[in-house]
Amino acid sequence: MRVRPRSPQISVAGGGTCSARTARLAEAVGREIAAAGAILVCGGQGGVMEAAARGAAAAGGTIVGLLPTYRHADGNAHLTIRLPTGLGHARNVLVAAAGDAVVALPGLHGTLAEVALARVLQRPVVVLGAWRDVPGVTRASTPRAAVAHALRLARRAMQRRGRPRNRRPPPRRPAP
């Protein structure tokens, strides 16, 4: 049976509330993700998450929201798929793990946790407008550049994860 290749999944991390400038950046990031045929994954609520989802929805994209509550209704209006987790902030690990790469915009401690968790999980992180001093992240100056770089890194990571590991067979023991 032949397995169909999947679309890259790009997680977007950012504050649950944000400035108008950050919302414009996030919306542009969402549009770029959708235009590239990738799937946007986010925490599913307001602020950066809603702005990115709005941008992706306007471009006809697929948006997955990993909600902190048990209620589907708690997700923003632009989500294609709502996954209530009931995990509160602990869902941040799911957002980080679900992305083949993460684009991080301004936020607070929850966003920083997603950035750190993504790096622990060896997911590439591209930062836009914040988090420039975090070790191991790649900086971008525009939404288009952030998404283009995230997609390149995601595809590279997907190829690495899809390859069989080069494992050595266990050493042979001499017969007794």
Quote the strand ranges of 33-158, DSSP E: 39-42, 62-67, 81-84, 101-104, 125-128, 138-140
Q: What pLDDT is stored for residue 163 in this prediction? A: 58
Q: What pLDDT is stored for residue 89 in this prediction? A: 94
Q: What pLDDT is stored for residue 164 in this prediction? A: 55
Nearest to 128 by CA among 35, 30, 55, 56: 30
Pick the CATH number of 9-147 from 2.170.150.70, 1.10.150.120, 3.40.50.720, 3.40.50.450: 3.40.50.450
Per-residue tokens: 171:
């050493």
Per-residue tokens: 111:
């966003």
Give 46's contacts (C-beta < 8 A, 6+ positions apart).
Answer: 16, 17, 76
Domain ranges of the chain: 9-147
Other CB atoms closer than 10 Å to residue 93's CB: what's the count? 17
What pTM was estimated for this model as a whole?
0.89
Averages of pLDDT over runs of 10 residues in the chain (176 residues) are 86 98 98 98 98 98 98 98 97 98 97 97 97 95 98 92 58 65
Please tell me the number of Cα atoms within 13 Å of 162 on its side-chain side. 12
Strands 101-104, 81-84: pairing is: unpaired
Q: What pLDDT is stored for residue 167 in this prediction? A: 53
Helix (H) or strand (E) run with residue 9 in it: strand 9-13
Nearest to 97 by CA among 123, 65, 131: 123
Q: What pLDDT is stored for residue 152 in this prediction? A: 97
